Amino acid sequence: MKTSSAKIPFPLSSSSSPLSSTLLTLNLKPLILIPFPILNLKMKGGTVQISWHEGKPILTLDFHPPSSTLATAGADFDIKFWSMKSAAGTQRKLPQVSYLNSLSYHSSAVNVIRFSLSGELLASGADGGELLIWKIHSTDTGVTWKVLKMLRSHHKDILDLQWSTDSTHIISGSVDNCCIIWDVNKGINLQKLDAHAHYVQGVAWDPLGKYAASLSSDRTCRIYINKPLKSKGIEKINYVCRHVISKAEQPLLKNSKSTKYHLFHDETLPSFFRRLAWSPDGSFLLVPSGSYKIGTASESVNAAYIFSRKDLSRPAIQLPCASKAVVAVRAAGLFKLPYRIIFAVATLNSLYIHDTESTPPIAILAGLHYAPITDIAWSSDARYLALSSQDGFSSLVEFENEELGSPFTILEGKVLEECNSPLQTSNDTVIVPTGYVGAVVAQSRKTKAGEKSDGMVIDSTGNARTAITEVGKM
């Protein structure tokens, strides 16, 4: 994939916010860190000045779930692993990043890497339609990754991919205008979704296993629902398109003719990626590359959209951003607090961190890079947030231990055997509490708590509430 080396100036200055901000300088790259005084955050962040990929663009990154090892990949064809260590002392220094090893197998630029939820597998998608599945192996000297399978069906560059919650399936999106759903264990193409008219630049798999979503430069977001087909008593995966989100009506004066406007940027958006993501509990879908008009005569405003699980046919909330388009969104893991989600929104040159308990973002980071941001990732304990850029550098944000909340892990919850597989059922699933107050996992409607509506959580007082209702306060 060809990359641009053009430098993009960042227009936001410390005077653009009524709140106090701190200007840091890292090798003449200005970092504007604006912590909003809602949570009294002690976060620190900046661009790590090391040779990540020999100066070539970094196109993707992800954290290994159990270990918080950071993996990066890009235009040098390699996947590299890095360890994170918090800087000693009380000074606000960036975490120490140390190189561990590399995986050299791809013969072209690597556009996306994603670990499975268990951390045992790694998927990497590259130019030319090459999709590799790596498996971790323990050795006397540590761990190593070996190629388990090579999946071939895409004819052109793979731009995005996402694992199913049970780590048995993958959905991928490509420049060939198609999404493909893969059976990882068998190494086969289960289904091709080819309704998009242009590049598929982002895909997302519902953590509850019912839906999948794709976002394309044809200015549409497609929502698919799994309606399994039965053959000889065996259910086979069958995703069908339920919603095509493209335009919205512009509210006008009474008796005037209504008009429709596009919700998303067209193919002129200067980014290879439109990475969308579900919240970890499946209650809402975060979608980037938004562009909407407040009035008929107004200019378009860049935004990210939030779609409620209760109605995926239209956005429930618009999150306006700065002068640059949104290219990626990513939610942190679950916390041991009722109906609270932390998520990050990356524009071409800035990063917004949102909390569903707060109307404004809890922090904005800007001026980090001279070229477009390409990907963002959270560590499993939500202590680190990383982003990559075409300028060949990555930036890190470090929070204090449990500063955003106490993280919830699957191992702490009670997960039933009848949940999590996208092939087992297409029935509505619900969110019910485990032994930890506010911690949630997906479970089947067969439980008593399943009488509650799809997407509900139960707080410490026993009251059922929807996560999207809390988001709706924004």
Distance of CA 239 to the CA centre of its chain: 21
Cβ neighbours for 344, distance < 8 A, ≥ 6 positions apart: 329, 330, 331, 332, 351, 352, 353, 354, 376, 378, 385
Mean pLDDT value of segment 325-341: 86
Residue pair 264/291 in contact by the 8 Å Cβ criterion: yes
Say how far apart CA 149 and CA 414 lie, in whole Å. 32
What percent of the chain clears pLDDT 90, i.e. is strictly above it? 57
pLDDT at 450 over 90: no
Q: Closest Cα to residue 417, out of 438, 447, 451? A: 447
Confidence at 230, pLDDT banded by 50, 70, 90: confident
Mean pLDDT value of segment 120-125: 98
Single-letter code of the amino acid located at 444: S
**Residue carrying structure tokens 């596009």:** 262
Report the pLDDT value the prediction gives residue 409, as an integer from 0 to 100. Answer: 61
pLDDT in tens, 384-443: 999 999 999 999 999 887 778 777 765 433 333 333 333 333 343 333 222 222 222 222
Confidence at 219, pLDDT banded by 50, 70, 90: very high
Report the pLDDT value the prediction gives residue 102, as an integer from 0 to 100. Answer: 97
Residue pair 464/457 in contact by the 8 Å Cβ criterion: yes
Say how far apart CA 95 and CA 245 lie, in whole Å. 41
Report the pLDDT value the prediction gives residue 295, as an integer from 0 to 100. Answer: 67
pLDDT at 77 over 90: yes
Confidence at 91, pLDDT banded by 50, 70, 90: low
Domains and CATH numbers, the chain: 14-398 (2.130.10.10), 414-471 (no CATH)
pLDDT at 49 over 70: yes
Lowest-pLDDT choice from 44-58, 65-79, 314-328, 448-462:
448-462
Report the pLDDT value the prediction gives residue 193, as an integer from 0 to 100. Answer: 98
